[in-house]
Amino acid sequence: MIKIIALAFTLLGIALLTQSLRPAYIIYKRELSWGWLCLIILISFFILGYAIMTLAVYYKVAASIFDLVVATILLGGSIFVTLVMQFSLSSINKIIRMTRQQHTRALLNERNTELIARLPSAISETEFELHYQPLVSAQNNTVQGVECLIRWPQSDGSAIAPSEFIKLAEQSHVIVDITHWVIETSLKQLGQWHSMGHTLALQINISARDLDEPELVTYITQHLRKNNIEAHFLTLEITENLVLGNPTECITILQKLRDLGVGISLDDFGTGYSSMTLLNQLPLSQIKIDRSFVLGMEHNSKHMSIVQSTLDLGKNIGLEIIAEGVENAQQALLLKQMNCTLIQGYYIAKPMSAEKLEHWLMCRYANSAPQRKHTN
């Protein structure tokens, strides 16, 4: 019996030590350290010794208590070595991950610093471009307006995502300069379209810092007059978090814009905690159903219910509703049946330059009447 137990303990010790070789070898391959190589060699000698001891006990006629004690001590040593190796590998992996994260953060901070430094010159040197995505009537498929979207192309053919540089610009007054450039450039373009017979409406996104600037109303008024555009052709898109930071001041400026005739749209409706409250507080003319509810609505009854409820709510309180993120004909048909006002998404058209939009409009309405006048 003692012989069987001693053999079992010894074999288990060999198995455990063999397992400890794997983490030791992984660490050695990463570190290329002679210390870890020596440890691998040492563990290998222990395994060889265990194997010799196993053979000795096996060929003994009878095993003594001493053999069992030695086997037990060696088993305990094997367990200890295995645990140490596994802990070492885990710790080194953690350190490597932390180092990589720190390196990534350092690169990101360096890139962000570079982008922030480049933003002023990007405005002055007109590195930004504006693309426009059509807004189409869900009922008769006519183009009612466009949403203005900023782009920052690079010399190598790539582009910096708006979500990346806009967040950086919002950390300083640069975002106000960017918004002013967008307003000036897009309203000038809108005036040209109106003179061509395309009576489109225009939607522009603004940030929280823009609403901290009292001259925003004056600036918009000047450029509407300069380009001979009636105020109701312009809608400013805001998000919930834009208002929550300074609600009193924001509401005051938004009300001045509404009194001027400019539309106010609550973007990403339904995704925030205070969306319903804001409907009562803000001088809104429009809400945009977030794309996350439109996506897959034809297969998701909950999304369908949310979209329908939002449409009913908008109708009851006199708001125009836009469903964004429409990606297929089935979604467009469902929104038409649900009496949605406007739809927007890749199914209609992707954002495009002013020149491409003009060509798109000419092709789409080559044999049709001009679009109806937009009202808020």
Q: Which residue has the tokens 């979209």?
A: 307
**pLDDT at residue 106, as a whole number:** 61
Which amino acid, one-letter code, is at 219? Y
Helix or strand run (H / E) with residue 218: helix 216-226
Q: How far apart are CA 279 and CA 271, in angstroms?
A: 14
Which amino acid, one-letter code, is at 57? V
Helix or strand run (H / E) with residue 268: strand 263-269
Looking at the predicted structure, is the pLDDT value of residue 373 above 50? no
Residue 115: both structure tokens together = 């982008």
Range with the poorest average pLDDT among 3-7, 122-126, 154-158, 230-234? 3-7
Helix axes 216-226, 174-196, angle to 10 degrees: 20
Which amino acid, one-letter code, is at 71? A
First to last CA, the chain: 93
Most confident among 145-149, 241-245, 268-272 (mean pLDDT):
145-149
Q: Report the b/e string of 2-32 with b at 16+ CB within 10 A.
A: ebeebbebbbbbbebbeebbebbbbbbeeee
CA 45: distance to chain centroid?
A: 54
Nearest to 329 by CA among 133, 149, 136: 136
Looking at the predicted structure, is the pLDDT value of residue 343 above 90? yes
The SS3 call for residue 254 is: helix
Alpha carbon of 47 to those of 10, 50, 55, 205: distances in Å?
10, 5, 12, 69
The SS3 call for residue 320 is: strand
Most confident among 63-67, 74-78, 82-86, 285-289 (mean pLDDT):
285-289
Mean pLDDT over 21-41 rounds to 68
**pLDDT at residue 245, as a whole number:** 63
366 class by beta-carbon count within 10 Å (0-12 exposed, 13-18 middle, 19+ buried) = exposed
> CB–CB of 211/237 below 8 Å?
no
CA 137: distance to chain centroid?
A: 28
C-alpha neighbours within 13 Å on the C-beta side of residue 320: 20
CA 225: distance to chain centroid?
A: 37
DSSP state of 290: -
Q: Which residue has the tokens 């869900």?
A: 138
DSSP state of 232: G
- Reduced to 3 DSSP states, what percent helix, strand and coil does the chain have, rounded to the nearest 5? 60, 15, 25
Assign a CATH topology to domain 128-364.
TIM Barrel (3.20.20)
Greater confidence (72 vs 375) lies with: 72
Q: How far apart are CA 165 and CA 242, in angstroms?
A: 17
Looking at the predicted structure, is the pLDDT value of residue 129 above 90? yes
Residue 12: both structure tokens together = 């288990």
Q: How far apart are CA 42 and CA 28, in angstroms?
A: 14
Greater confidence (25 vs 297) lies with: 297
Looking at the predicted structure, is the pLDDT value of residue 30 above 70? no
Mean pLDDT over 108-117 rounds to 76
Range with the poorest average pLDDT among 40-44, 184-188, 248-252, 288-292? 40-44
Q: How far apart are CA 336 and CA 205, in angstroms?
A: 26
Q: List the Cα angle 107/150/342 in 5-degree steps.
A: 130
Nearest to 220 by CA among 171, 243, 254: 254
Mean pLDDT over 159-184 rounds to 88
Nearest to 49 by CA among 10, 7, 2: 10
To the question of pTM greater than 0.85 for the whole model, the response is no
Most confident among 30-44, 110-124, 255-269 (mean pLDDT):
255-269
Looking at the predicted structure, is the pLDDT value of residue 105 above 70? no
Task: Write the pLDDT tens digit of every residue in 197-214.
Answer: 899 999 999 987 888 887
